[in-house]
Amino acid sequence: MLYNNFLLLQLKKKFKKNLPPIKGCVKILNQKTGILETDKNYIYNIPYIYLKYIMEGDYILANIKNDNNQLQVIPIRLLKSNINFFEGIIKKKNNIIYIIPEKKILYKNIIKCNIKKNIKNIIKNGDKVIAKIIQHPLNINRENNIFVAEITEFLNKDNKYLIPWWTILLKYNLSINSPKSSLCKKIKLLDDNLYRKDLTKLCFITIDNKDTKDIDDALYIEKISEKKLLVYVAIADPTAYIEKDNEIDQIASKRMFTNYLPGLTIPLLPKILSENFCSLNPNQKRPVLICKMIIHKNGSLSKKIIFFTGWIKSNAKLNYHDVSNWLEKTGNWEPDNNKIKQQIIFLYKFYLYRKKWNCQNIVDFNNTDYKFIFGDKGQIVDIIIEKKRIAHKIIETAMITANICASEILYKKLGFGVYNVYYGFNINKINKIIELLNECNIKYNKSFLTTLKGYKEIYNKLYDLKASFILNRIKKYQLITLFNTKPGPHFSLGLKRYATWTSPIRKFGDMVNHRLIKAIINKKYSIAKPLNDIFINMNKKRYLHKKAKNDLSNFLYLQYFKNISIRSKIFISEIIDIFYYGIKIRFVKNGAYAFVPKKFLYSNIDYININQEKGVIYIKNKLFYKVTDKIKVIIKEVNISGIIAKII
């Protein structure tokens, strides 16, 4: 802390005139004291009279003022707010309604509430609410402005169980509900002049989860010959209703994704659009963007790929479970008619054709997915392994193939789009990867490992050798997939470039690509390149969504293991990672992570030798444990930090 220290005293003497504005983070200490901490850890006092214009965590621009030989700051502009949503209690005073935040975020910790007419008469003192800041004094040029919030959710007995979900979302400043349908005052097609081909007579079908309401893809296939299939991939077209830069578009550009959490889904778009006007519901005429392609028996794509806009009418809303059962010849479900039956058969044939290409190009990490099963009020009933069945694989393959087509047309016609870029191994960790590969007598040079071919070849060899230990270790040295407006390779898909457009109801980047593809269809090649802010915000939002999902999963696992009967069982677990102070494991049956402290590995810790870098543990100079080993454990403790286990 450098408040009034020697360096600041020197600054006070040196500068007689005003110093240039500085940036820093606000901290409210009490009702009369606030400070600004800069990125370099300099701390300045904020005069009491300015505290009403700022809140805890605000990142602001401020002017430095020398007051009686003491440096102070005057807030002038908000750069970024750390708090958008908060939980609070309603307080009525002199016909004005306020919200008292649960956590102290203001010097007086009371915020004026903007009340809509439809709830004004039902709101009362003591109501617990989730609210959103809609007015910040530093965003407005008039000094008399105050903080104003708007209620987004009332907490009651029916939704109170969602408080942990909302708390975690608010922690990362993520939305807790869908955009309001009232934003869609008058829904109409915007591109009336755009030609749309009428394909409503073709037998398009959709396959999704049973409870899916925002259906964004439909498929239709024709057999050209014994070696060729003509495939139509029709994707819902929200850009037919959402004008660029209007209020809904701006909200979507901030949210970026539909947020899928265990037990709660928060849509990207208002439900009246995502579940009604845009959703490819059965027997409803819908505007779509279509990719028409030919697939050969060897899995390859014909060069001639056509994108066009059209109308379709889905003939059936099918689900993964029923279609998988029918293809696997189990269960009693049957397609309603021969046309639908024929489409399922063609889809399966398409998958078998394309599977040949997939096997040659795609690196499949074979990750296990787990699903929380909830009761009516959010209580956890069970946690199960969610296997990817044949119908899932069919739809996934169709969407990847359609995305490959979009990637190429965007690249060839425009040279840009919203791309998913994945470069495989971290170039700074290549030496460590080479050391690991040498243990399996696999020899490659650095430059080869950083190529598409090298990435795929390495994984093929390790899978053939069943070298699960090495596979686990090299995962630590991989990069993550990022969004960018510039094309780039996607190593795990074996592609020079990859862009998605098949989920525009759920991803804002796909909406952007829709608009770009439509511009290509209309031969408007001079369309502006998407701003860099788009992919920067997409990367940030996806990271925050992942953090929120991880936090919620950890919370739900702790709730699940509070049940003594569950905790008393023996769990088969896989060693995920090894640290100097113990090992991280994952229960095979339900996916919960746990930690085994060093003291539970052996009675005398002096005999334990842990090599964290290599992921192995020796006891009395004998190899006892390594990453990927399966071990049996019992739960010793469940606390806020996590699950503590002991090897048996």
Catalytic pick among 127, 208, 237, 629:
208
320 is catalytic: yes
538, 418 in Cβ contact below 8 A? yes
452, 489 in Cβ contact below 8 A? yes
Q: Cα(569)–Cα(590) distance, rounded to whole angstroms?
A: 13
Catalytic pick among 58, 216, 249, 629:
216
Catalytic pick among 58, 127, 214, 629:
214
Catalytic pick among 473, 506, 542, 586:
506
607 is catalytic: no
312, 286 in Cβ contact below 8 A? yes
Closest C-alpha among 100, 107, 110 to residue 75: 107
Mapped onto helix, strand or coil, the DSSP state of residue 598 is helix
512, 534 in Cβ contact below 8 A? yes
214 is catalytic: yes
Residue 80 dihedral angles phi and psi, to the nearest 5°: -160, 135
483, 509 in Cβ contact below 8 A? yes
390, 348 in Cβ contact below 8 A? yes
216 is catalytic: yes
208 is catalytic: yes
What does the CA dihedral 404, 407, 409, 414 come to, rounded to 10 degrees? Answer: 180
Q: Cα(312)–Cα(279) distance, rounded to whole angstroms?
A: 12
DSSP string, 158-197: TTGGGHHHHHHHHHTT--SSPPPGGG-SS---S-TTS--E
Strand intervals (E) in 463-533: 482-484
Q: Cα(525)–Cα(119) distance, rounded to whole angstroms?
A: 49
Catalytic pick among 58, 127, 217, 237:
217
User: Residue holding tokens 């920067």?
Assistant: 536
Catalytic pick among 220, 320, 560, 625:
320
Amino acid of residue 545: H
336 is catalytic: no
Q: Cα(84)–Cα(174) distance, rounded to whole angstroms?
A: 9
Amino acid of residue 123: I
149 burial via Cβ count (<10 Å: 0-12, 13-18, 19+): buried
Q: Distance of CA 483 to CAs 401, 416, 508, 571, Å?
A: 19, 12, 12, 39
72, 64 in Cβ contact below 8 A? yes
**Half-sphere exposure (CA, 13 Å, Cβ side) for 426?**
10
Output the six-digit token pair for 238.
């929200």
Q: Cα(224)–Cα(277) distance, rounded to whole angstroms?
A: 33
Catalytic residues: 208, 214, 216-217, 320, 506
